[in-house]
Structure 1
């Protein structure tokens, strides 16, 4: 059992929290109430950033002490939105939210994952007709192994998990968010994920 704090109680955070709790982990969900995120992070082994990406850096940088030594799993994408509310452009072109978080939180082990799919796939990958791929980016091998174990608890088979390397590789997966609005406009809000076919 892992003690997990999920920051963000929207569709992504709520979905992850419910599934991880059902898998036997001790899960706390923190919303935007003052002090709640810090209290949750302080007592957790793993913190999941499921806050809206545009404000994640500011929110999490304020928790530097609470996140010291923790594993921070970043599942958000930092974008500016178009008129229809869907992602239109990257907030950190030439970088990534994960890189910005790692720079702001040097004593926190940041791992980027689960950001290349619609949220229902995060906890039900086997529901897709084809095997999806989930990516890992981060500097700490032990932290990435912990995240691998959590992904397994969410239904991700080992062969569906691809470790891309260091945190800089997160800029590639975060850029994949630019596919999403076009796919949704083309086929509707049907769960999908990026998959590496071999």
Structure 2
């Protein structure tokens, strides 16, 4: 059992909280209020950023002390939305939210993952007709191992998990969000994930 704090209580955060609790972890969910987030982060071994990506950097940078030596799992994408509310552009072109977080939180172990799929797939990869893939980006190998174990608890098989390397690789997976609105418009809000054919 691991103490996990999830920052953000929307669809993504709630979905992850339910699945990780069922997997036997002690999970606390904090809304966007600074006090609630600080209290949750202070006592957790793993913190999951499930806040809207356009405001994540400011929210988490304010928790620098609480996040010291913590594994921060970033599942958010920082985008600028179009008129229909779907992602239209990247907030950090030439960079990524994960890189910005790692720079702002140098004593925190940031790992980017679970951001290349619709949220139901995060906790139920088996619901897809073909094997999905999930990616890891981060500087600390031990932190990525911790996150890999967490992914296994969510139903991700070892062969579905690809370690892309350092935190800079997160800019590639974050850019994949630009596929999402087009896929939704073409096929509706049906669960999907990126899969690499080999």
Q: How would you bin the TM-score normalised by the shorter chain? A: over 0.9
**1:33 Cα deviation after fit:** 2.6
Once the two structures are superposed, the pairs formed by residues 109-148 of structure 1 within 5 Å of their partners are: 109-148=109-148
Moved more, 28-37 or 169-178: 28-37
Q: Match of 2:38?
A: 38
Q: Match of 2:160?
A: 160
Q: Distance in 2 between matches of 1:32 and 1:46?
A: 17
Question: Counterpart of 1:172 in 2: which secondary structure?
Answer: helix
Question: Counterpart of 2:102 in 1: which secondary structure?
Answer: helix
- Kindly indicate whether residue 13 of structure 2 is the aligned counterpart of residue 13 of structure 1: yes
Once the two structures are superposed, the pairs formed by residues 50-69 of structure 1 within 5 Å of their partners are: 50-69=50-69
- Kindly indicate whether residue 49 of structure 2 is the aligned counterpart of residue 49 of structure 1: yes
Question: Counterpart of 2:6 in 1: which secondary structure?
Answer: strand
Q: Distance in 1 between matches of 2:169 and 2:32?
A: 29
- Kindly indicate whether residue 164 of structure 2 is the aligned counterpart of residue 171 of structure 1: no
Confirm or deny: 8 A CA contact 2:32 2:51 kept in the other structure. Answer: no
Q: Match of 1:98?
A: 98
Question: Counterpart of 1:47 in 2: which secondary structure?
Answer: strand
Q: Which runs of 5+ in 2 are unaligned?
A: none
**TM-score normalised per structure 2:** 0.99
Question: Counterpart of 1:58 in 2: which secondary structure?
Answer: helix
**TM-score normalised per structure 1:** 0.99
Provide the aligned C-alpha RMSD in A. 0.4
Q: Match of 1:23?
A: 23
After TM superposition, which residue ranges in structure 1, 4 or more long, deviate above 6 angstroms? none
Question: Counterpart of 2:196 in 1: which secondary structure?
Answer: coil
**1:32 Cα deviation after fit:** 1.9
1:27-57 CA-to-partner distances (Å, cap 9, x unmatched) read 0000023400000000000000000000000
Q: Distance in 2 between matches of 1:39 and 1:155?
A: 29
Q: Distance in 2 between matches of 1:64 and 1:146?
A: 20
Confirm or deny: 8 A CA contact 2:137 2:165 kept in the other structure. Answer: yes
1:90-119 CA-to-partner distances (Å, cap 9, x unmatched) read 000000000000000000000000000000
Question: Counterpart of 1:197 in 2: which secondary structure?
Answer: coil
